[in-house]
Amino acid sequence: MAMDILENSYRRLGISEAVLDFGQKIEEELKTRFWEIDAVAEYNQLKVIGAMQECRVGAECFNSSSGYGYNDLGRDKLEEVYAAVFHTEAALVRPQITCGTHALALALMSNLRPGDELLSISGKPYDTLEEVIGIRPSKGSLAEYGITYRQVDLRGDGNFDFEEIRRAVTPKTKLVAIQRSKGYQTRPTLSVERIGKAVAFVKSIRKDILCMVDNCYGEFVEIKEPSDMGADMVVGSLIKNPGGGLAPIGGYIAGTEECIENAAYRLTSPGLGREVGASLGVMQSFYQGLFLAPTVVAGALKGAVFAANIYERLGFEVVPNGSESRHDIIQAVTFGSPEGVVEFCKGIQAAAPVDSYVTPEPWAMPGYDSDVIMAAGAFVQGSSIELSADGPIKPPYAVYFQGGLTWYHAKLGILKSLQNLLDAGVVKEL
């Protein structure tokens, strides 16, 4: 294809020659990095195919069930596949789990009892978990059920503070939570290796302490998952990485048989557990989304690396930086002003295939302690494996960018965000 044809296509979508040239120079520098991302995707693709073959997935798995959902072959087989992918004893993968926060709440509430203590060793949890735990009072929180909470912050260099963790563990400590991704923070995302060392350390203190990892945004970024490193539970959302952009809803918990059984009894009711829960016609999307997930994640990762290098080159603080290794799909860019966050998000929205004509505005979103702006022209509402950006309107005024079902869409979104910032005067020159 002649370059001028491609350039004309970008111009029709509102990208100036200056922004396109700047982006192309950055992209050219990233060829080796992109090859490395593709190699990880290939490994994970083979892992997923191998799990599906091992579990003997057949066309009959796509059949729908309703009502109680007894003997739902597709549902039960999918949970076998997830357990095989994550190398765990069992898994719970259900459309009745509505989102990542719900999956995490389910894992916590089902494996903690009154008098137990929850210890977070990766600092403050994601905003929506504050009400689940009871850090911010809310109906039905863990605190209301007599479950106490403590946390140990990460060190200034982003590593676990092992000395403080040892001091924080008490006879009441039942479950240790680790959040892989940064959330609305500018700390580094935790690598699987680093998480594994933390899990081993906790188990050296007391083997019976459960280790749960919030795996949201991290699935298939590396060749290993936290469950490969000894975590008792890994938890995530199907409208993020493992759903591949096709899952319309859902969440998963993969882990030990006992942990998953507890979660199933909490999701449905004691005595019913995993036996009920109709699949309601979503199984094909769940299977196909998981099949596509390694490739989709690779496209999102390329977008994150591209964005980091673009904005780092322009003098903005980015986490991770342009050259360091990646452990989730999220890219944080700190603008230091509300205008930067807003204009970035407007650019991402304008690049979307769905609702491109909508202008995002900050609003008081449930579960957050400040106004939040979200850009997401997605086929699945709320899907953050699709191209999206969001951030709280509070210091340090950082935006969090993630997703892109294809690398090409992610690239367009980043260029559009830069164009918006340039036009608004937040970026002065390229």
Whole-prediction pTM value?
0.95
pLDDT for residue 3 is more than 80: no
> What is the spatial distance between Cα 408 and Cα 105, in angstroms, rounded to a whole number?
35
Instruction: Report residue 368's pLDDT band, with 50, 70 and 90 as the boundaries.
Output: confident
Question: Does the pLDDT at position 1 exceed 60?
Answer: no
Task: Please choose, from the candidates 335, 299, 296, the residue with its C-alpha nearest in 3D space to the C-alpha of residue 317.
Answer: 335
Averaged over 354-383, what is the pLDDT?
91
Which letter does DSSP use for residue 210 in this model? E
Give pLDDT, residue 414: 98
CA atoms within 13 A on the CB side of 294: 19
Longest pairwise C-alpha distance within the chain: 68
Q: Residue 39 CB: number of other CB atoms within 10 A? A: 12
Q: Which amino acid is at 185?
A: Q
H-state helical runs in 92-226: 100-111, 129-133, 162-168, 192-205
Please tell me the predicted confidence (pLDDT) of residue 188.
Answer: 87
What percentage of the chain reaches a pLDDT higher than 90?
A: 93
Residue labelled with tokens 């490193």: 229
**Rounded percentage of the chain residues whose pLDDT exceeds 70:** 99
Predicted confidence at residue 365, as pLDDT, reads 81
Is the bond preceding 248 in cis, omega lying within 30 degrees of 0?
Answer: no
User: Any long-range contacts for 137-145 (C-beta under 8 Å, 24+ apart)?
Assistant: 142/108, 142/109, 142/112, 142/118, 145/109, 145/114
**pLDDT surpassing 90 at residue 185:** no
Give 25-46 pLDDT, tens digit per residue: 999 999 999 999 999 999 999 9
Q: pLDDT for 394-410, tens place per residue?
A: 999 999 999 999 999 99
Q: For 156-165, how does the pLDDT look when each residue is reduced to its tens digit (9 = 90+)?
A: 999 999 999 9
Q: How far apart are CA 269 and CA 277, in angstroms?
A: 11
pLDDT digits (tens, 9 = 90+) for 225-271: 999 999 999 999 999 999 999 999 999 999 999 999 999 999 999 99
Cβ atoms 84, 161 nearer than 8 A: no
> Average pLDDT, whole number, for the chain?
96
Q: What pLDDT score was predicted for residue 406?
A: 97
Residue type, 136: R
Q: How far apart are CA 180 and CA 1, in angstroms?
A: 41
3-class SS at 204? helix
The predicted-structure confidence for 289-319, as pLDDT tens digits, reads as follows: 999 999 999 999 999 999 999 999 999 999 9
- For residue 129, count CB atoms less than 10 angstroms from its CB and return exposed for 0-12, middle for 13-18, buried for 19 or more: buried
The stretch 126-132 carries a mean pLDDT of 92
Q: Which domains does the chain have, with CATH numbers?
A: 3-44+291-424 (3.90.1150.60), 67-279 (3.40.640.10)
Does the pLDDT value for residue 105 go beyond 70? yes
| pLDDT at residue 212 is higher than 70 | yes
Structure tokens at 214: 């919030």
Whether residue 2 has pLDDT greater than 70? no
